[in-house]
């Protein structure tokens, strides 16, 4: 349940706050934290914003928990005409540590100290690559199912051949995230480095991409189910 | 043994526990959070009529296990997988001595797998030798994400871990079960990562590596590795209950596993008492790939028999009654490439 103060002045700010939060994704699931129900509450008072986040279990990985909370903080700070911003993670076994780290702007290593060996950039990149792989598979599957394109043609298919829509938009976003081009002439089916594939290599690439997609979708089912179990009807 | 429509299934539940998550055994708040998390798993994925009350769930003991797993649950054999979590519970989460005692009472029904931690160094190796002899170990269960002092986990291919694996070879402990699934507090070390399995599976071909929870939530990483290694298996604990709660997702998981690993390398498990085996066995035998997933072939009865028990029986040398066997032995097919890609 998202409770937003409804004075006329804060209404537009609340819209901007929710838009900012909806751009924050769970890195593993590649879905917005707002859709996943991870935003417990948003409170706006005199332009200052306090957001509470929650997760499906208290044992969700601290690195993912920290990523989402710090991403939310970063996103909110960019909101136009926003005052002080506080993000708090509730009911996590590292809540106190993460919340203190966020308030002190300590960063991941600063927050977890001896427990953390390095920053989370590499982890984040791993999941961006997975998200791109899954998005690519969705577009390829859509082409195979709804057009004359066959698996044998796929190595030549370009972004221009992919019909506009949610799948394509998601793909383009992910390509930007991992540093791939979005030129209409760029190939759709590529490896993790963005290189085009030989026709013979496409089926195995697609097969693997499919297991990536299934894995991510399944995890999202699991997380939504657990969140509902944990928080009941308010999830 | 489970029988349906004239077909008889030898059932091995390859992952069971006796745990004590009661408040009296909790060392700190994490102990409570951990059992609560398990209880949420249980409530989230079980059919309503088999959901336990919280107090029963925190501790149920050996007699209840015998009833749920064997009398009601159709299992012919079950394998304890140790879960220590000594940082969270006073006497550990999994009750090792109670489980070992029960297995000693019922050697025909129960196999006890113990645990070790390579971060215990030389002393741990000594302990492993003593445990292997006393407990007649055929397998171990490893938690690479478990905390240990300042360490937030370890990799199977680290030097000390390799020494322990070599000791397992010496001691005849062939089945290395590794928890690669829902997390126990890893931090920057990604304890879900299955890449370490890849390395040691190649180096220790005489050991079997059973990846518990089939690498969920990283199914694809597990499949990619398992397909290249002949001695990597997938344990279905935690994946099984999706057969009820999310049957289409379960179909996709099984479809992918059959494609990448093949029918000889998938092991049924309830993860009792996370879930009870009775309904899992019934629903799995009744399960079929839905029509809207034409990319997967239907699951055959022979495949179900292998997954439900024959594959685990082959790994543990269990004596399967003649009428419950298949015409050919399960669990011995080579798989150097994706199983589905071979056909």
Chain B residues within an 8 Å CB radius of A112? 187-188
A222, A227, A231: best to mutate for the B interface, most B CBs within 10 A: A222
Residue B201 pLDDT grade (very low, low, confident, very high; cuts 50, 70, 90): very high
Residues of A in contact with B219 (CB under 8 A): 211, 214-215, 218
Distance from CA of B28 to the nearest CA of A (A): 11
B142-177, pLDDT tens digit by residue? 988 887 877 778 899 999 999 999 999 999 999 999
Residue A79 is predicted with a pLDDT of 95
pLDDT at B39 over 60: yes
Contact of A57 with chain B, judged by CB distance below 8 Å, is answered with: yes
pLDDT at A35 over 60: yes
Transcribe chain A into DSSP letters: -------HHHHHHHHHHHHHHHT-EETTTTEEHHHHT-EEEEEEETTEEEEEE--S-TTS-HHHHHHHHHHHHHHHHTSTT---EEEEE-S-TTHHHHHHHHHTT-HHHHHHGGG--S-SHHHHHHHHHHHHHHHHHHHHHHHHHHSS--GGGGGG-BGGGSPSSHHHHHHHHHHHHHT----TTSBSSB-TT--B--GGGHHHHHHHHHHHHHHHHHHHHHHHHHHHHHHGGG-
Tell me the average pLDDT across B221-248: 93
Task: Using an 8 Å CB-CB cutoff, list chain B residues near A140.
Answer: none
* Domain parsing of chain A, residue ranges: 13-118, 122-217
Residues from chain B that touch A230, judged by Cβ atoms under 8 A, are 40
Measured between alpha carbons, how far is A127 from A133 in angstroms, rounded to an integer?
Answer: 10
Name the closest residue on chain B to residue A121, using Cα atoms: B188
> pLDDT-derived band of residue B15, with 50, 70 and 90 as boundaries?
very high
Residue B327: pLDDT band with limits 50, 70, 90: confident
User: What pLDDT does B342 receive?
Assistant: 47
Kindly tell me if the per-residue pLDDT of A5 is higher than 60: no
Phi, psi angle pair for A109, to nearest 5°: -65, -40
Distance CA(B318)–CA(B296), nearest Å, equals: 31
Alpha carbon distance B318, B336 (integer Å) = 26
Residue of B nearest to A112 (CA): B187
Q: Which residues of A touch B152 (CB under 8 A)?
A: 115
Q: What is the pLDDT of residue B278?
A: 98
A101/B contact by beta carbon, under 8 A: no
pLDDT over 70, % of chain A: 93
Q: Which residue in chain A has the smallest CA separation from B29?
A: A93
What CA–CA distance (Å, rounded) separates B220 from A180? 22
Instruction: Give the pLDDT score at A10.
Output: 47
pLDDT of residue A8 exceeding 90, the answer is: no
What pLDDT is recorded for position B183? 62
Tell me: pLDDT of A151 over 60. Answer: yes
At B193, is the secondary structure helix, strand, or coil? coil
Q: How close is the nearest chain B Cα to the Cα of A77, in Å?
A: 26
Using a CB-CB cut-off of 8 Å, the residues of chain A touching B256 are 210-211, 214
Instruction: Report residue A11's pLDDT band, with 50, 70 and 90 as the boundaries.
Output: low
Q: Locate the chain A residue with the closest alpha carbon to B253.
A: A214
The pLDDT assigned to B188 comes to 59
Query: Which residues does chain A have within 8 Å of residue B195's beta carbon, measured at their own beta carbons?
Result: none
Query: Is pLDDT larger for residue B224 or for residue A5?
Result: B224
User: Phi-psi region for residue B204, left (φ > 0), alpha (ψ -120 to 50) or beta?
Assistant: beta
Task: Report pLDDT digits (tens) over B110-148.
Answer: 999 999 999 999 999 999 999 999 999 999 999 888 878
Task: Please give the CATH topology (third level) of the domain spanning A13-118.
Answer: GMP Synthetase; Chain A, domain 3 (3.30.300)
pLDDT band at residue B218 under the 50/70/90 scheme? confident
For residue range B275-306, what is the model confidence (pLDDT) as tens digits?
999 999 999 999 999 999 988 999 999 999 99
Most B-contacting residue of A31, A56, A59 (CB-CB within 10 A), to test interface: A59
User: Lowest-confidence range among A109-118, A144-153, B197-206?
Assistant: A109-118
Chain B touched by A200 (CB under 8 Å): no
| Higher-scoring residue by pLDDT: B195, B244 | B244
Domains of chain B plus CATH, in order, are 10-318 (3.20.20.140)
Residue in chain A lying closest to B147 (CA): A115
Residue in chain B nearest A124 by alpha carbon: B188
The mean pLDDT value of chain A amounts to 90
For the segment A95-148, what is each residue's pLDDT rounded down to a tens digit? 999 999 999 988 888 888 877 767 788 888 888 999 999 999 999 999 999 999
Give the gap in angstroms from C-alpha A2 to the nearest C-alpha of chain B: 23
Q: Average pLDDT, whole number, for chain B?
A: 92
pLDDT for B81 equals: 96
Quote ipTM for the complex: 0.86
């Amino acid at each position: 349940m998202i409770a937003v103060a409804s004075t006329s002045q804060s209404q537009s700010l609340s819209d901007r706050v929710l838009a900012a939060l909806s751009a924050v994704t769970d890195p593993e699931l590649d879905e917005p934290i707002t859709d996943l129900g991870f935003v417990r509450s948003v409170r706006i008072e005199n332009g200052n914003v306090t957001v509470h986040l929650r997760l499906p279990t208290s044992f969700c990985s601290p690195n993912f928990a920290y990523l989402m909370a710090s991403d939310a903080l970063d996103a909110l700070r960019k909101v136009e005409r926003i005052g002080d911003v506080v993000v708090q993670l509730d009911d996590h076994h590292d809540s106190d540590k993460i919340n203190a780290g966020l308030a002190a702007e300590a960063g991941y290593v600063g927050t977890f100290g001896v427990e953390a060996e390095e920053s989370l950039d590499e982890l984040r990149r791993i999941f961006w690559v997975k998200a791109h792989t899954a998005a690519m598979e969705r577009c390829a599957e859509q082409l195979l199912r709804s057009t004359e394109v066959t698996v044998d043609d796929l190595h030549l298919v370009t972004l221009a051949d992919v019909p506009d829509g949610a799948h394509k938009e998601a793909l383009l976003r992910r390509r930007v995230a991992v540093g791939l081009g979005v030129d209409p002439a760029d190939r759709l089916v590529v490896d993790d480095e963005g290189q085009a594939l030989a026709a013979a290599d496409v089926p195995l690439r697609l097969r693997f991409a499919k297991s990536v997609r299934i894995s991510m979708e399944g995890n999202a089912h699991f997380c939504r189910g657990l969140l509902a179990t944990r928080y009941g009807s308010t999830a | 043994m489970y029988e349906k429509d004239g077909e008889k299934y030898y059932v091995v539940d390859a992952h069971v526990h006796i745990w004590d998550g009661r408040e009296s055994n909790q060392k700190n708040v994490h102990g409570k959070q951990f059992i609560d998390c398990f209880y949420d798993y249980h409530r989230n994925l079980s059919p309503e009529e088999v959901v336990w009350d919280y107090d029963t769930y925190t501790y149920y003991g050996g007699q209840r296990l015998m009833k749920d797993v064997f009398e009601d649950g159709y299992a012919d054999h079950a394998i304890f997988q140790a879960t220590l979590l000594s940082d969270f519970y006073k006497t550990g989460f999994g009750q090792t001595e109670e489980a070992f005692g029960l297995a000693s009472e019922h050697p025909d029904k129960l196999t006890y797998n113990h645990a070790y931690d390579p971060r215990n160094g030389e002393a741990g190796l000594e302990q492993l030798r003593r445990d292997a002899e006393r407990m007649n170990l055929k397998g171990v269960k490893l938690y690479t994400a478990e905390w240990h002092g300042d360490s937030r986990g370890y990799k199977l291919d680290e030097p000390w871990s390799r020494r322990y694996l070599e000791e397992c070879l010496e001691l005849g402990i062939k089945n290395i079960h590794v928890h690669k699934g829902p997390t126990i507090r890893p931090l920057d070390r990604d304890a879900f990562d299955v890449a370490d399995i890849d390395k040691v599976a190649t180096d220790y071909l005489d050991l079997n590596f059973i990846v518990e929870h089939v690498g969920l939530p990283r199914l694809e990483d597990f499949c990619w590795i398992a397909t290249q290694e002949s001695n990597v298996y997938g344990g279905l604990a935690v994946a099984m209950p999706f057969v009820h709660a999310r049957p289409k997702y379960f179909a996709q998981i099984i479809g992918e596993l059959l494609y990448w690993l093949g029918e000889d390398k998938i092991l049924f498990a309830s993860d009792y008492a996370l879930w009870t085996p009775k309904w899992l066995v019934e629903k799995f035998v009744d399960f079929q790939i839905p029509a809207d997933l034409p990319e997967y072939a239907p699951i055959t009865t022979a495949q179900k028999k292998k997954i439900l028990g024959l594959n685990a029986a082959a790994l543990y040398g269990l004596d399967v009654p003649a009428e419950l066997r298949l015409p050919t032995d399960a669990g011995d097919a080579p798989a150097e490439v994706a199983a589905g890609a071979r056909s």
